[in-house]
Amino acid sequence: MKYNAISLLDKLDQLQAMFFYSTKLAEAIGVSRRTLLNWRQKPESISAKCRLDIDVLYCRHFLIPEWDDPKQSFEAVLLPDDMPHNEALFLPFLRRLSYGTIEIETGMAKADFDNIIDGKKLPKNMDRQTFLEGFNAFMTHKQLWQRIVEHSEPMPITVENIKTLHADFMRGIYDNAGFFSTKIRVMGQLDGVQTTDPEDIDEEMYRWVYKEAKSATLEAIAKAHAYFILIHPFGDGNGRVGRALVMAQCLNARLMPPVFDGENRAMYYAAMEYAMKHGRYAPLIRLFYQAVKSK
């Protein structure tokens, strides 16, 4: 993503010119005006969270308008014929996909993820939750690949299978793994987006399955993903489940799945927010195509 090649100070300069008042920019990022001044003197002091907040704000105001072209067209990327049974090709892909989805949600270090997958036991100085997050993510994606690609059994996208996916990701991590939430959920990085009321989740998920289960183009799958995340049916792990559904739908259609990770995370959040708030999907669709081809 081109915004990764721009320094944080340059991004702040461009954002400052747009917001004009430093107090308004500070408010948009969620910090004090004094903090902005300190960042100018010591950019290395900007925390990982604030770096992400700056990137999301930059994408929201500079890239989203540029990408919001409903007339854009892209060429589908099919699953390569030589990939399904070639471990040298598909195992590195599964590792990137699995680590990316965990990196987005937890910020897990790549070295920790590699230790989890290569060691297959709890590494020293690692808590049990971190281990399970990495291990469950890799095994869940690997099982999807084995079922759909190696054994040629398309995964039916049903409410029960979605609950099973959640249980696979969150087993040992989350008490209500595999069950829809009974509480109000907060989106986190996505601002001003209201999730489905708990009492309506079950009905809305059946509606999602009825409308979106057979999505077979990347455009349709991108829209279905935004719809799923907007419902936000689980108390935790919605992003992991949602991106695994993207993978399953792509593999069902013999399409290469997109890989979302720290490199495109800010645009992922900005494009998702834009689709949910305004019903405009062009930036999200473009991101899905780029996330396929860049890997």
Rounded Cα gap, residues 59 and 66, in angstroms: 10
Is 95 labelled a binding residue?
no
Which among 61, 151, 232, 278 is annotated as catalytic? 232
Residue 238 marked in a binding site: yes
Determine whether the annotation assigns residue 161 to a binding site.
no
119 is in an annotated binding site: no
Please spell the DSSP secondary structure of 151-208, one letter per residue.
Answer: S--PPP--HHHHHHHHHHHHTTT-TTTTS--SS----SSSTT-PPPPGGGHHHHHHHH
* Residues paired with 78 in a beta bridge: 255
Say whether 86 counts as a known binding-site residue: no
How far apart CA 289 and CA 200 sit, in angstroms, is: 32
Name the β-bridge partners of 255: 78
239 is in an annotated binding site: yes
Q: Is 241 annotated as a binding residue?
A: yes
Determine if residue 58 is labeled as part of a ligand binding site: no
Q: Which residues are CB-contacts of 86 (< 8 A; sequence separation ≥ 6)?
A: none
Can 151 be counted among the known catalytic residues? no
For the chain, the residue count is 295
> Residue 139 region, left (φ>0) first, then alpha (ψ -120 to 50), else beta?
alpha
Cα 252 from chain centroid? 20
Asked whether residue 236 is marked as a ligand-binding residue, the answer is yes
242 is in an annotated binding site: yes
User: In the block, which residue shows the tokens 């989890």?
Assistant: 116
Please answer whether residues 280 and 274 qualify as being in contact, where contact means their C-beta atoms are separated by less than 8 angstroms: yes
Q: Determine the Cα–Cα distance for residues 255 and 205; give it in Å rounded to an integer.
A: 24
Active site residues: 232
Per the annotation, binding residues are: 236-243, 268-269
Per the annotation, binding residues for ATP are: 236-243, 268-269
